[in-house]
Structure formats: structure tokens, C-alpha cells
């Protein structure tokens, strides 16, 4: 069976428009393929609250049961809670039903291994092969799996996060905090954790209805109506979650959106005060993290783009914290998934320690301007384009682990070919916005030349 052209298959799962590429049949088949790799064992299933999640949850459950799996149904739960539950319940893995920050018509399946991390590429490729071939494990009538409902893993997840910081230090500040979950899965858990911190919570869209009040990707352009409420409610900070709650965006006390790149940098700053160690980030994440780590006398290492790649490097280097510049923070003490609850806890703790307005903490981070662009380049020309870029900046440090990354004294350039379309993604960062734009233009002219 060929994968539908409008069904996106990545190293960690599938994603598509519900009723088009992503159907109940496709979800059942993919779950059966996944179940065939863990046949007879316990598998966690949860969803992010989108209305289509109910249908897909039944489809996924059917596929897993057909392979003899014991399904533990969390219901609506954040993606990091799903990953946390795998280890907490000693499961063989999990399927989270989510399309992350995609618009409402989309949904998908995100798969986890027995360690609670998203599946690496090799394991994902095995499942895709089974999906295409239909060579599934099929349980006999008396070997079909079962469905159960586990205890409240969400409360354990929150407690695990609280145990990493001083709750009393944060509670003593009596912060008023704005939380926008936009109808996503993380609203109830976010309100609970912030309340446990002794914060007064101004909650917006914190019921997990799956109905979005604004575009789901938590970037400044989508928060124009939301951001001013932070100042209007006289909050010390605003937190914004994406639908499955694996990304954290920030708004300062003046109602100004903060670059999502700052989320991880602030978490790094706090974590290295707790315990010096290695920080792991991906190739396209801001140099702020590298500078913050260096100021603490700690190394910062980079992986290929992708959560699974960051996690692999964290394990390899024994990193104390990792993440990606999209607002994702990974603390191995909690789990191997981007976790905004960790991000919120660390940032509130930093505010409590520093006794400074949040905007000042942001202003004290290293200042960089990042720009993400893309150019049409055929796959055949890509090797020549990469070679031309290396020749254009011969003084730069070269890294070829994920496309090409060039590092200068205070700038970097990351160029990656798309796996799905004839484009090259060019990301640059320097201290000056115009210089960054010029760097992208130069790189674009080289790769298209």
C-alpha cells in the first residue's frame, strides 16, 4: 500500500488533513503497524483535544487492540504528559494523537518508544514499512488486547516538575500570571501547576475543548489580540501554549511578545545555576543558549534538527538540559519530550531569584536577530550549492551533520535541503537585523546562482 500523497510521514509519526490524507482507516493501519512492534505490551494513548481526536482515538485503539496491545487511555493530555506516562506506567510506548501547531483541519499520530521519547528515525522507518506492506501482527479472537484507564498521571507530571525547583521561593512572590492555552490540552494542567506555585492565574482558553480562539502556532503574529491582556490584567508574565503543549511562548509584563528563542535560553540560564553541565540544542537554535552556557563555564553542543536528534545527543553527552528554539525545553529528570511546564517553572524561579521584571530578564540575554528564509533549488544542484557556500565563507567553522552550518565570530548560517519539496531553507543569526538579512540574501544568491 502506498502512503497517500497528502499524508505527511516523518521520523516520529504521521500528519494530515482529517478526512483527506488522514482517515480512520489510515490511523487504524498505522496503529496496527506500531502495535506489531510492541505486540502484547502496554501502550499509552492520548489526544490533544481537537474534535477529530475522538474519532482517531477509537481508530488508533482498534489498531492496537488488533495487535494484542494493552491500551492505557489517558484521554486528553499534553504531549509531554504522554511521554511522562510511558515511564511512569512502565509501558512499551505511546501514540499521541495531535497535529501540534497545525490548523484545526489537521491531526496526526506521534509515536513514542519505551523510554518516553519520540521514536528515532530508524524505528519510525520500520513502522512505516509495516504500514505500507500490511504485514501486521494479528491477534486471535482470544488474544485481542484490552483497554484501561490509568490513574491521574497528569498530577504526577506536575509534581515531578515542582520537585525540581523551590515552590516556596516562587510562591513568596505571589506572581499574577496570564496563561493562554488556546483550547489546547495543556490548559488544565497549566492552571494546576501555576496555582500550586501560589500564582494568581488569569486563564484564557484553558478548557481543553480543542476549539482555537486564534491560530494555533504561538508566534507573535498570532498573538496580536492576546498579548495586550497581559498588561491589562497587570500580570508579571504571560505564557502561551500550543495545542498539544510541547511549546512555550512568552509575553512580558508590558504586553510585548518575546521571541520563542528566548524560552530555552532563560531555562538554560536557570538550570545551569542548579547544576553546571552540557546543554544540547539543534543546529537552527539561537546562539543565545551557547553564550549563556559559556558564561556559566559550560559546553553547548548541537544536533541535527528534530526533537529525536536533540534527545539522542543529550543522552550521548549526559546533558543536563536540551531543547529547540521553538519554545521547547527538555529536562531529562522529567522526560525526553519538549515540556512547557518545565519552562514555566524555570522561568518563574528565575524571576523569583532575580527580583527583576520579566522584560529586564529578557533584555539581559545576549542580543541576536534571527531570520528564516527559503529558496527554490533543485535536489540535483544542492551539493554544488553547498560547496559554493563553503567557498564563499572560507573562514567559517564548518559542520555538515545536518545540511551545512557555517559559524563565524558572532554569526552563523544554517542551510538545509527540504525532504519534501525542491527548496533550501536558509537560517541566519547575527547581532544586527540588517546584517542578518544581508547574510540570508548572500546565501540565497549563492545557492540559486
Positions marked active-site: 100
**What 3-state class would DSSP assign to 366?**
coil
C-alpha angle with apex 131: 128 to 132, nearest 5 degrees?
Answer: 90
CA distance 31 to 25: 10
User: DSSP of 49-61, one letter per residue?
Assistant: S-THHHHHHHHHH
- Assigned C-alpha cell, 314: 543529550
DSSP run (H or E) holding 398: strand 397-399
CA distance 312 to 369: 28
Residues 6+ apart with CB under 8 A from 135: 36
Q: Give the β-pairing of 321-324 and 106-112.
A: unpaired
Q: Is 152 exposed, middle or buried (0-12, 13-18, 19+ CB in 10 A)?
A: exposed
- Assigned C-alpha cell, 326: 521553538
CA distance 20 to 6: 7
Q: Give the β-pairing of 93-97 and 42-47.
A: parallel
Contact yes or no for 252/362 (Cβ under 8 A): yes
User: DSSP of 299-359, one letter per residue?
Assistant: -EEEE-SSHHHHHHHHHHHT-SEEEETTTEEE-TTT-SS--HHHHHHHHHHHHHHHT--HH
CA distance 306 to 371: 19
CA distance 265 to 350: 12
Residues 6+ apart with CB under 8 A from 10: 124
C-alpha angle with apex 46: 205 to 67, nearest 5 degrees?
Answer: 160
CA distance 252 to 239: 9
Amino acid at each position: 500500500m502506498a502512503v497517500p500523497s497528502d499524508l505527511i510521514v516523518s521520523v516520529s509519526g504521521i500528519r494530515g488533513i482529517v478526512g483527506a490524507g488522514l482517515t480512520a482507516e489510515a490511523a487504524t493501519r498505522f496503529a496496527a503497524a506500531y502495535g506489531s512492534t510492541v505486540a502484547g505490551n502496554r501502550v499509552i494513548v492520548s489526544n490533544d483535544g481537537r474534535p477529530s481526536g475522538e474519532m482517531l482515538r477509537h481508530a488508533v485503539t482498534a489498531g492496537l487492540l488488533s495487535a494484542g496491545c494493552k491500551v492505557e487511555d489517558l484521554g486528553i493530555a499534553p504531549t509531554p504528559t504522554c511521554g511522562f506516562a510511558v515511564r511512569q506506567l512502565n509501558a512499551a510506548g505511546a501514540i499521541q494523537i495531535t497535529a501540534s501547531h497545525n490548523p484545526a483541519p489537521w491531526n496526526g499520530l506521534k509515536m513514542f518508544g519505551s523510554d518516553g521519547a519520540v521514536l528515532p528515525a530508524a524505528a519510525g522507518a520500520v513502522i512505516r514499512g509495516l504500514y505500507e506492506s500490511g504485514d501486521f501482527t494479528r491477534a486471535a479472537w482470544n488474544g485481542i488486547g484490552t483497554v484501561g484507564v490509568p490513574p491521574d498521571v497528569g498530577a504526577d507530571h506536575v509534581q515531578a516538575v515542582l520537585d525540581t525547583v523551590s515552590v516556596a521561593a516562587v510562591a513568596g512572590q505571589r506572581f499574577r500570571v496570564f496563561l493562554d492555552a488556546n483550547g489546547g490540552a495543556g490548559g488544565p494542567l497549566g492552571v494546576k501547576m501555576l496555582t500550586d506555585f501560589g500564582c494568581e492565574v488569569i486563564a484564557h482558553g484553558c478548557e481543553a475543548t480543542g476549539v482555537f480562539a486564534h491560530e494555533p502556532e504561538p508566534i507573535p503574529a498570532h498573538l496580536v489580540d492576546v498579548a495586550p491582556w497581559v498588561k491589562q490584567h497587570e500580570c508579571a508574565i504571560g505564557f502561551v501554549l500550543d495545542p498539544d503543549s510541547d511549546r512555550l511562548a512568552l509575553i512580558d509584563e508590558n504586553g510585548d511578545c518575546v521571541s520563542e528563542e528566548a524560552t530555552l535560553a532563560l531555562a538554560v540560564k536557570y538550570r545551569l545555576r542548579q547544576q553546571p553541565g552540557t546543554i544540547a540544542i539543534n543546529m537552527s537554535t539561537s546562539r543565545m543558549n551557547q553564550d549563556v552556557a559559556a558564561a556559566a563555564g559550560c559546553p553547548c553542543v548541537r544536533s541535527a534538527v528534530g526533537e529525536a536528534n536533540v534527545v539522542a545527543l543529550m543522552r550521548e553527552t549526559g546533558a543536563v538540559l536540551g531543547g529547540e528554539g521553538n519554545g521547547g525545553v527538555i529536562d531529562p529528570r522529567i522526560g525526553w519530550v519538549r515540556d512547557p511546564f518545565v519552562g514555566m517553572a524555570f522561568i518563574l524561579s528565575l524571576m523569583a531569584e532575580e527580583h527583576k521584571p520579566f522584560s529586564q530578564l529578557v533584555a539581559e540575554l545576549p542580543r541576536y536577530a534571527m531570520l528564516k528564509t527559503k529558496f527554490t533549488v533543485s535536489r540535483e544542484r544542492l551539493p554544488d550549492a553547498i560547496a559554493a557556500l563553503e567557498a564563499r565563507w572560507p573562514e567559517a567553522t564548518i559542520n555538515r551533520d545536518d545540511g551545512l552550518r557555517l559559524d563565524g565570530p558572532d554569526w552563523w548560517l544554517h542551510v538545509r535541503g527540504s525532504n519534501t519539496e525542491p527548496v533550501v531553507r536558509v537560517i541566519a543569526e547575527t547581532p544586527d537585523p540588517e546584517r542578518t538579512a544581508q547574510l540570508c540574501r548572500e546565501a540565497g544568491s549563492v545557492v540559486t546562482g
